[in-house]
Amino acid sequence: MKFIKILGAVTLINIIARLLGFVREMVIGFQYGTSYYADSIITAFTIPNFFYIVLGGAVTTAVISIASKLEPKRQQAFIDTMTSGLIMLMGVVTLILMFFAEQWLVLFFGGLSDEALTLTTQLFRLMAPATFFLVLAMFYSGLLNMHEKYRLTSLSTLLFNAGFLLFSVALSVFLGPIGYGFGATLGAVLMCGFLIYFLYRFRYLSRFRFKLMYTEDVSRFIKLVLPIVFGGATLQCDY
């Protein structure tokens, strides 16, 4: 009975989160119609969202599979190493996305008008940091799921979509479509902070230590996560 209640709550939260994502697109359409402003907002978030779904989803699956089987001390060492590695990896990826924003957009979304490319590049640079926080948040979601805190991980997704929508709409009053660039990143920060707070509150994490060690557990993680990433990327590209 308890499992059914949890499943029902998680399903409801996920539905609401999905609806908020749909509402966000409706609001964009209401504010900017079929102009290139609306297209630029949606296009700019495509790549951060791709990393969120593909890499974030793969990390969540792999970390649950490996960390759940480790004894506490070894588990903490694994978590510290993975957190350190993800911070470095996603930090570099985020900087590359930001500094070469226009080149990425031309590569993946050729045919944009000069005005659309300029606006989309501005938005993409503002949204790129969301990639860092979203992937890290998915890692932390995996840790909470490992402890069967499914409602909290679902709530974090709801917070992201709600934060993205509310911050963007509020800021767009003063900044126009550029407000959506800030909104995406602020929503991702909110999601990541929410997960970190509850991980420490329930003492599932101890004090973080920056550590990079290539251990057997890290090797297993890489071997598990790479096929999931490539499979997810293939599905997203086909879609």
Amino acid type, 232: G
The rounded percent of the chain whose pLDDT value lies above 70 is 92
Mean pLDDT score, 188-200: 93
Give residue 77's pLDDT: 85
Instruction: Check whether 138 has a pLDDT greater than 60.
Output: yes
Contact in structure between 55 and 229 (CB atoms under 8 Å): yes
How many alpha carbons lie under 13 Å from residue 104 in its C-beta half-sphere? 22
pTM: 0.88
Give residue 237's pLDDT: 55
Written as six digits, the tokens of 24 are: 């966000």
If you ran DSSP here, which 8-state letter would residue 109 be given? Answer: S
Cα separation, 40 vs 224, whole angstroms: 35
- What are the Cα distances from residue 103, in Å, to 85, 98, 99, 233? 26, 10, 9, 20
Instruction: Check whether 173 has a pLDDT greater than 60.
Output: yes
Mean pLDDT score, 206-218: 77
Dihedral in degrees, nearest 10, Cα atoms 15, 17, 23, 27: 180
Of the pLDDT bands very low, low, confident and very high (cuts 50, 70, 90), residue 9 is: low
Contact in structure between 198 and 141 (CB atoms under 8 Å): no
Cα separation, 236 vs 151, whole angstroms: 26
